[in-house]
């Protein structure tokens, strides 16, 4: 009885195999959305890895024997922070903060608003703010004031990219990966309208990318 039931089930499943193969073959024909190939790489993943390792060594040396809190600015700094943290040979913890800056998709209008605060008390702690890019300086000026009000022991700023020619506020980063020209870039966390953050290299954004 049991054997007969199992045999019937097998025959039923077998009869559906052609349908399964048809679905698989159809899926192979549907184009999978690929990464845009028409953007020029400005900084390769290998160069990024080298630079992140160098910044990690600098931080390890500067804070030898101490603990640090890395505060990543969401969402752009999440990839940089996760790679950097693994290059820091210290007792380090993380927290995250999120801001919104008004303006067009490519230009900041200078108004920054906090949308998510850190949850760790920062008083008397060594805080390193971690950002994807320092551009006009409005975001860092806003965050520096906010974090200094929490009375950290020290506050430093690590930015993977720096566009000095765009600066409108008198601020500099303590740790910089690359100084870049006035180009809008995407990849390795940086976005254009939330897209392209997962590109492993940093590319100069092109209007017709991914169309």
Q: Which stretch binds Mg ion (CB under 5 A): 46-54, 61-69, 72-80, 120-128?
A: 72-80
Contact letters for ligand IMP, residues 147-166 (x by CB under 6 A): --------------------
Given 56, 72, 137, 187, the residue binding ligand IMP (CB under 6 A): 137
Other CB atoms within a 10 A radius of the CB of residue 166 amount to 16
Q: Please tell me whether residue 177 binds ligand IMP under the rule CB under 6 A.
A: no
Length of the chain equals 211
- Give the residue, chosen from 56, 72, 76, 152, that forms a contact with ligand IMP under the rule CB under 6 A: 76
187 makes contact with ligand IMP (CB under 6 A): no
Nearest Cα neighbor of 120 from 99, 80, 92 is: 92
State the minimum distance, in angstroms, from the CB of residue 45 to ligand IMP: 17
Neighbours of 73 (CB within 10 A): 24
60, 82, 101, 154: which one contacts ligand IMP (CB under 6 A)? Answer: 101
Structure tokens at 108: 């900041």
Q: Are 40 and 185 in contact (CB under 8 A)?
A: no
Looking at the Cβ atoms of 133 and 147, the one nearer to Mg ion is 133
Whether the Cβ atoms of residue 162 and residue 176 lie closer than 8 Å to each other: yes
Q: Per the structure block, which two tokens stand in for 65?
A: 């024997």
* Under 8 Å between Cβ of 136 and 111: no
Q: Among 135, 162, 201, 208, which one carries the catalytic annotation? A: 135
Residue 80 vs residues 1, 123, 129, 155: alpha-carbon distances, Å:
62, 25, 12, 18
DSSP letter (8 states) at residue 111? E
Question: Is 135 a known active-site residue?
Answer: yes
Q: Is 133 an interacting residue with respect to ligand IMP (CB under 6 A)? A: yes
Q: Which is nearer to ligand IMP, 8 or 113 (CB)?
A: 113
Q: Which residues bind ligand IMP (CB under 6 A)?
A: 73, 76, 101, 108, 131-140, 184-186, 190
Q: Which residues bind Mg ion (CB under 5 A)?
A: 76
């Amino acid at each position: 009885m049991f054997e007969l039931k199992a045999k019937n089930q097998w025959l039923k499943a077998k009869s559906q195999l052609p349908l399964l193969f048809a679905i698989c073959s159809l899926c192979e024909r549907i184009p999978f959305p690929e990464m845009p190939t028409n953007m020029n790489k400005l900084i390769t993943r290998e160069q990024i890895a080298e630079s992140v390792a160098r910044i990690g060594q600098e931080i390890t040396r500067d804070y030898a024997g101490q603990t640090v809190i890395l505060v990543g600015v969401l969402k752009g700094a999440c990839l940089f922070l996760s790679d950097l943290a693994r290059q820091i040979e210290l007792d380090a913890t993380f927290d995250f903060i999120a801001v919104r800056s008004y303006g067009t998709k490519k230009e900041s209008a200078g108004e920054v608003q906090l949308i998510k605060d850190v949850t760790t008390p920062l008083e008397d702690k060594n805080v390193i703010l971690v950002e994807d890019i320092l551009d006009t300086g409005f975001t860092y000026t806003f965050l520096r004031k906010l974090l200094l009000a929490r009375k950290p022991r020290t506050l430093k700023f690590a930015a993977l990219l720096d566009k000095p020619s765009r600066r409108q506020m008198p601020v500099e980063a303590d740790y910089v990966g690359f100084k870049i020209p006035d180009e809008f870039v995407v990849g390795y966390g940086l976005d254009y309208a939330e897209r392209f953050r997962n590109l492993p290299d940093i590319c100069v954004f092109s209007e017709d990318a991914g169309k």
